[in-house]
Amino acid sequence: MTDEDTPPARRASVTRNTAETQITLSINLDGDGTSHFQTGLPFFDHMLTLFSRHGLFDLKVKAEGDIEVDYHHTVEDTGIVLGQVLKAALGEKRGIRRYGFFLLPMDESLARVALDLSNRAAFVYHVDYKDAMVRDFSIGLVKEFFQAVANESASNLHINLEYGEEPHHIAEAIFKCYARALDTATTIDSRLGDALPSTKGTLSS
């Protein structure tokens, strides 16, 4: 394979600093699921590990936040930066499948995710266990995280919990399901060549 035949690297890195959080995040969409996290929130690190492994995205996250006040800022702001790096890594989105859908079981829980990398942000979240806790981590923060990802990646994201009881299983099903759907949507379809999966002629403006 010549240099001209080598597809461009789909990688990006973003640093975002505010009075509440300092976050650096990098992603390689064509990775093997290698990951490293420092968020100060063990359960959140676990969920990000699942996202990386099941989407086969190489992901590094270093986050420092005011977790002595609340976990909300760190979780939401990490979602903001993840959305930004996804958008940057995808570029013009030439050749991608664009749409992704997955239905994923985790023991008694079943999650469904559908998404469109349309450059039009929309978010629908139907999960009943919004106030459940896993130790000191509120499952309600899962919604805040994915709302931020959808907004900043400018994607149309629908997350539904078909059913489930155990909060850890519910969160795990959602993160894994999103990873699998995003992997499908970001996959290069050789039939498209360098074309955009849109009749509008753009997916970046």
Asked if the structure places residue 193 within a domain, the reply is no
Average pLDDT taken over every residue of the chain? 92
Enumerate residues 6+ apart whose C-beta is below 8 A from 168.
134
**Does 31 map to a domain?**
yes
Q: What is the pLDDT of residue 162?
A: 97
DSSP string over 58-78: EEEEEEEE-TTT-SHHHHHHH
- Kind plus residue range of the DSSP H or E element containing 83: helix 72-90
Asked if residue 100 is part of any domain, the answer here is: yes
Q: How far apart are alpha carbons 198 and 98 in whole angstroms?
A: 9
Q: Report pTM.
A: 0.93
* Mean pLDDT of the region 130-151: 92
Q: 201 lies in a domain?
A: no
Q: Is residue 3 part of a domain?
A: no
The verdict on residue 1 lying in a domain is no
Across 48-64, b (16+ Cβ under 10 Å) vs e yields bbbbbbbbbbbbbbebe
| Each residue's pLDDT tens digit, 11-50 | 999 999 999 999 999 999 999 999 999 999 999 999 999 9
In this predicted structure, what is the pLDDT of residue 6? 47
pLDDT at 73 over 50: yes
**200 in a structural domain:** no
pLDDT recorded at residue 196? 80
Residue 191 lies in a domain: no
Q: Please list, in sequence order, all residues whose beta carbon lies within 8 angstroms of the beta carbon of residue 144, skipping any fewer than 6 positions away.
A: 72, 75, 76, 79
**Residue 67: pLDDT over 60:** yes
Strand 137-138 to 99-106 pairing: unpaired
Least confident of 98-102, 176-180, 188-192, 195-199: 195-199
Is the model more confident about 108 or about 196? 108
Provide the CATH number for the domain around residue 97: 3.30.230.40
Task: Give the residue-averaged pLDDT of 176-180.
Answer: 98
Domain count, the chain: 1
Looking at residue 203, its pLDDT comes to: 63
Cα–Cα distance list, 169 to 69, 110, 166 (Å)? 26, 9, 5
pLDDT value of position 48: 98
Say what the pLDDT of residue 56 is: 97
Structure confidence at residue 198 as a pLDDT band (50, 70, 90): confident
CA pair distance 13, 135, nearest whole angstrom: 31
Q: Say what the pLDDT of residue 195 is.
A: 78
pLDDT at residue 5 above 80? no
Within the chain, strands assigned E span 11-17, 21-28, 35-38, 58-65, 99-106, 109-116, 122-126, 133-134, 137-138, 156-163
**Residue 85 belongs to domain spanning:** 11-186
Looking at the predicted structure, is the pLDDT value of residue 112 above 80?
Answer: yes
Whether residue 3 has pLDDT greater than 80: no
Radius of gyration of the chain (CA): 17
More confident: 202 or 127: 127
